Structure 1
């Protein structure tokens, strides 16, 4: 009786991972919304490209890169999160399957996440520096400080993972 109860409980707990699937579907929806925003920015940029200053053009391109990085981050979180916590994604023999799929564990996902956040933060900082004359120096200081917190957090997370790595493994 006790073993049967234990098996039922463990089965229920194991199957509860499927409660995460709607979260990943929501992130797929967010990726679609991000695509709409990317296209909106691109369509807004295209007709004015010939009359834009070089700095304004660079700022617009940085905005597109920023949205692209956010999209990449969503894909990494969707694929890795689903495969790590819900179920393996069966892509058959598709040659388009990204090499990293199935190989990014929670630690790798965490590092990819912080690296993407640092990149996005860096792009926002670069955009701010492009218009540094118009920026409040206190706000700029906060932006640099927050960016450095992200950078230091990334380095510390990588260092902690390295400390946790078993001797002789080559991550």
Structure 2
């Protein structure tokens, strides 16, 4: 009796794997779509990297360094650490503002009628 119940339970569990098959196929399809989207974004980024101006590159490097600084914030920050972080933010925002001003100047020059 107990052996029969065990065999029936094993057979039920083994056969129920087909109930999960659609979920697995959906997960595989989702991963494939994520890979496609990732490679599209990667291609888009690489095409923009080669056409980026110096200001864009400086702002990007500053942003990476600032992100690294934010990731390494200690639990107990000294006043020197806080000042260093504050100056990194100020310098980064200066780069961003100068990049925006350069873009604005390019737009103004491009919209000006030629005589």
TM-score tier by shorter-chain length is 0.3 to 0.5
Q: Which has the larger radius of gyration?
A: 2
Q: Quick one: higher RCO (CA 8 Å, sep 6+), 1 or 2?
A: 2
If each structure's helix is expressed as a fraction of its own residues, which one has the higher value? 2
